[in-house]
Amino acid sequence: MKVRKIGIVSRCDQADALNMVRSIFDHFRSEVEVVTGPKTSEAIGIKGTNVMPVEEMRDAGVEIIVSVGGDGTVLRNISKMEDPLPILGVNMGTLGFLVDVNPEDAIGSIGNVLNGFTYNERSRLAVSLNGEPLPPATNEVVLITARPAKILTFKIFVDDCEFEDMRADGVVFATPTGSTAYAMSAGGPIIDPRVDAALIVPIAPFKLSSRPTVVPADSVIKVEITIPGKEAVVVIDGQHNYTVSEHDVVTLTKAKYPARFVNTSITDFYEKVQSKLR
């Protein structure tokens, strides 16, 4: 079935990205209805009724979102949607592990997608702080010290069983999608996104037995800061920061709605690992 309505979001501080948005908009507006985000539309001078926040696009009938930028642009816009729309990423960044399409291939790739597409689903982490919901994570949730060179002490529980009483610079809780991001840099394994799991990776732990661990995706993971007077920061996908202190509890489990990525000719996970991480 042909796509009838698409959304476009982009970085607004990069001229190349905005020029790409303009090219996409001009090329396809006669073929499909094109909706743009407010900041994107303002940056390229688009006015009209088809301007709306990304979180409203599903209700407006948008079928896919074209994200122009890097991985951060993708993560930022996914975090705004409770039930994320399928995303096609045009890479205007550097590594771009979540953005499959090169700028020179953008028009052709989008044209192909408009004739019909499939997508893959990636599990996300639902996050709460002291019972209050925070934005879900597509890549990872990172707990780090709020003061450089200060070690944290915290307890981790998995399904109400104590997993670790840990002293470390912090810890990364990652999805399989995020296993190729911060978690990999911290020494964690690469996990195929088809594996329904979550990853716990200590950052510079103070004992040799603290190792990266893979747990079932629907595990309930709880983290509690245990040293008085120490503050830490919870960072979700590098986009959202929250300060936590003694007795605060961060809870993570599998989110109700997954992230969705449009399949392209280079969607294969192992091809990406070979081309982008070697």
Percent of the chain with pLDDT over 70: 99
Q: Is 270 exposed, middle or buried (0-12, 13-18, 19+ CB in 10 A)?
A: exposed
Give the pLDDT confidence of 77-117 residue by residue, as tens digits.
999 999 999 999 999 877 778 998 999 999 999 999 999 99
Q: What angle do CA 122, 124, 126 make, to 5 degrees?
A: 160
Model confidence pTM above 0.85: yes
What are the domain boundaries of the chain? 5-122+258-277, 125-254
Does 71 qualify as catalytic in the annotation? yes
What tokens were used for 127? 């996050």
The DSSP bridge pattern shows strands 5-10 and 33-36 to be: parallel
Give the pLDDT confidence of 52-73 residue by residue, as tens digits.
999 999 999 999 999 999 999 9
Specify the higher pLDDT residue, 230 or 220. Answer: 220
pLDDT (0 to 100) of residue 266: 61
pLDDT (0 to 100) of residue 267: 58
Q: Which of 13, 59, 71, 268 is catalytic?
A: 71
Superfamily of domain 125-254: Probable inorganic polyphosphate/atp-NAD kinase; domain 2 (2.60.200.30)
5-122+258-277 under CATH 3.10.180.10, yes or no: no
